[in-house]
């Protein structure tokens, strides 16, 4: 959030199952902002669901469309932006996030993420078979990048979406106030 004290988009990052899509609508309502979901933007632009994009066109095409969706979301009206777990893979995306957003890393232990994913009907293209092993590998690869872009990390275990949203609003408000003091 290098825009000084100016308000900016609030972006949720984290692994699949961390709560981005669940917390996003609650947070958007708390802040009185629209919710923008980068995966939904990609699916809409492509005219097909994300798993179909992966299966038909591959991950590289999805990541390119995802980068375009992020740039679009950050350039539009002030919003809460829920991202896909891999949004931090591209250096250009990380730069956009650092420069134009207040970024919140939602996190939880792998066991809880897996339990949430098992109850979610949405297909996760990169997890597939051996989900625990793949999730651990994704955490190892992505955690440094989540940490790089995040202004705050919220451990979501045992918290309601409303409590998580309240913590994010408090952190965002504090960042705005601190920005005005500097």
Sign of torsion over alpha carbons 37, 89, 138, 163: negative
Per this entry, what is the length of the chain?
Answer: 182
Question: Is the Cα torsion angle 165, 141, 8, 82 positive or negative in sign?
Answer: negative
Alpha carbon distance 45, 26 (integer Å) = 25
Structure tokens at 142: 């992505």
**Phi-psi label, residue 75: left if phi above 0, alpha if psi -120 to 50, beta otherwise:** alpha
C-alpha distances in Å from residue 59, one per residue of 28, 64, 107, 122, 154: 29, 9, 23, 17, 28
Has 182 been labeled as part of a binding site? no
110 belongs to an annotated ligand binding site:
no
39 is in an annotated binding site: yes
17 is in an annotated binding site: yes
Distances from the Cα of 181 to the Cα of 5, 133, 177, angstroms? 9, 45, 7
21 labeled part of a ligand binding site: yes
Phi, psi values for residue 11, rounded to 5°: -115, 130
139 is in an annotated binding site: no
| Residue 56, annotated as binding a ligand | no
22 labelled ligand-binding: yes
Residues in the annotated binding site for ATP = 17-22, 124
Binding-site residues, in ranges, read 17-22, 39, 63, 85, 124, 142
What residues are designated binding site for Mg(2+)?
21
Residues that constitute the known binding site for substrate:
39, 63, 85, 142
């Amino acid at each position: 959030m290098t825009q000084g004290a100016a308000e900016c988009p609030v972006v949720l990052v984290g692994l699949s199952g961390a709560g981005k899509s669940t917390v996003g609508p609650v947070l958007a309502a708390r802040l009185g902002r629209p919710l923008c979901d980068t995966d939904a933007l990609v699916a809409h632009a492509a005219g097909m669901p994300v798993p179909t994009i992966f299966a038909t066109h591959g991950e590289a095409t999805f990541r390119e469309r995802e980068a375009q969706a992020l740039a679009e979301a950050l350039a539009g009206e002030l919003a809460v932006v829920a991202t896909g777990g891999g949004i931090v893979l591209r250096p250009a995306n990380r730069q956009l996030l650092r420069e134009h957003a207040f970024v919140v890393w939602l996190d939880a232990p792998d066991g809880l993420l897996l339990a949430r994913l098992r109850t979610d009907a949405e297909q996760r293209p990169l997890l597939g078979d051996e989900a625990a092993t793949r999730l651990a590998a994704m955490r190892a690869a992505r955690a440094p990048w989540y940490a790089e872009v995040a202004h705050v990390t919220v451990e979501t275990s045992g918290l309601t979406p409303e409590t998580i949203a309240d913590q994010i609003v408090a952190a965002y408000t504090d960042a705005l106030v601190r920005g005005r003091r500097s």
